[in-house]
């Protein structure tokens, strides 16, 4: 059961988790429920916020595990994950929980798999030119959504509610795993939850 920040994540996260399960772990027997939408990270940050959503997620029928996926924005992803983990541990649910903080934002994972995304059409037109490249530390870029818009044809702009799921479906899991430390953490989190479910553990990771 994912807990996410907004409507774009609600659509895209199940697609991404299934891709990781299928492509990286050859696992087809774990279902991904419709994520719980926090409608902004502020809802999770406020006192009792993340705790309420964890309790809510755990009540979902057949919930075997919970993954909390948020954008770190300008925060240190490791420190933010540690804070969220500490709060999740106070809830005491009987299923494992994994916390993943995308460095900067979810869309940075598109940069990590740019070669598999560029040159494809979404919403009836070319999303990114086939020759688009990003040079530099992809996890240091602030304003990834804006950068993606700048690479789109004139008159088009990145729309989180429609383009996030389309671009997610084009991610090459192996490529993103190689190029992004936080995507590698996401893959490891999926592996941790899968192992914990098999072992009957209720661990909270990574801290």
Whole-number mean pLDDT of the chain? Answer: 94
Domain count, the chain: 1
pLDDT for 121 equals: 86
| DSSP label at residue 83 | H
What residues make up the domain containing 97? 2-205
Say if CB 162 and CB 204 are below 8 A apart. no
Q: Beta strand 204-205 with 97-102: parallel, antiparallel or unpaired?
A: parallel
| Residue written as token pair 């953490």 | 185
pLDDT-derived band of residue 67, with 50, 70 and 90 as boundaries? very high
Sign of CA dihedral 163, 166, 172, 173: positive
Q: How many CB atoms lie within 10 A of CB 112?
A: 24
**Banded pLDDT at 61 (limits 50, 70, 90):** very high
Contact 21, 28 (CB under 8 A): yes
pLDDT for 131-157, tens place per residue?
999 988 988 898 999 999 999 988 889
Categorize the per-residue pLDDT at 35 as very low, low, confident or very high, splitting at 50, 70 and 90. very high
For the record, the structure tokens of 124 come out as: 């009836």
């Amino acid at each position: 059961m994912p807990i996410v920040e907004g409507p774009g994540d609600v659509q895209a996260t199940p697609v991404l988790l299934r891709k990781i399960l299928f492509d990286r772990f050859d696992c087809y027997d774990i279902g991904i429920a419709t994520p719980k939408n926090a409608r902004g990270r502020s809802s999770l940050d406020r006192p009792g916020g993340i705790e309420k959503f964890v309790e809510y997620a755990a009540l979902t029928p057949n919930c075997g595990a919970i993954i909390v996926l948020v954008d770190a924005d300008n925060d240190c992803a490791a420190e933010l994950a540690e804070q969220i983990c500490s709060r999740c541990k106070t809830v005491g649910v009987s299923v494992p929980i994994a916390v993943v903080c995308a460095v900067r934002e979810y869309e940075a994972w598109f940069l990590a798999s740019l070669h598999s995304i560029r040159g494809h059409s979404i919403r009836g037109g070319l999303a990114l030119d086939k020759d688009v490249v990003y040079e530099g530390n992809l996890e240091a870029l602030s304003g990834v959504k804006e950068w993606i818009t700048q690479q789109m044809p004139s008159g088009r702009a990145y729309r989180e509610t429609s383009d996030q799921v389309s671009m997610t479906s084009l991610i090459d899991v192996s490529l993103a795993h190689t190029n992004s430390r936080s995507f590698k953490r996401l893959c490891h989190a999926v592996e941790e939850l899968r192992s914990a479910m098999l072992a009957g553990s209720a661990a909270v990771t990574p801290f």
